Amino acid sequence: MPYAYVYQCPECAFDVEVLLCREFERLPDGARRDYQYPDPALYEWPPRRVSGVWSRLWCPSCREVQPHVLHEMDEPAEHPAQVFLAAEAQGLRGLESGPCPVCGATLCVELENQRCPACENSTLTCIGEYEP
């Protein structure tokens, strides 16, 4: 299940949202985007398929949120639960980090008490969390 955390600087109001373990789908051009759940009242053909799960984590070097693919299926799945089960079978829990796709620095999952990248005078505090 995807989960988002919002961190904010109490001094300058800079904020950043970290998103954990969100489903994604591949577009015809190969790009990834958040999986869009179909309207249950409509019949779609062909049915949408889920390609994997990813997170959006903070890169301290780029100073912005970057995507991090946790698990991508060899073939897209018919249901999001299949992707979560496949990721779980690999031992993934959704809190994993990895290298930034832009600069290679290690991405940050937790930003509590990290120095504010905007003003550098205070530290970030988690002000909320939600299921997107």
User: CB within 8 A of 68, min separation 6: which ones?
Assistant: 54, 55, 56, 57, 96, 97, 98, 101, 107
Q: Is-contact 94 69, C-beta < 8 A? A: no
pLDDT averaged over 10-residue windows placed end to end, the chain, 132 residues: 92 95 94 88 82 96 96 93 94 94 96 94 95 88
DSSP class of residue 81? Answer: H
| Predicted pLDDT at 52 | 96
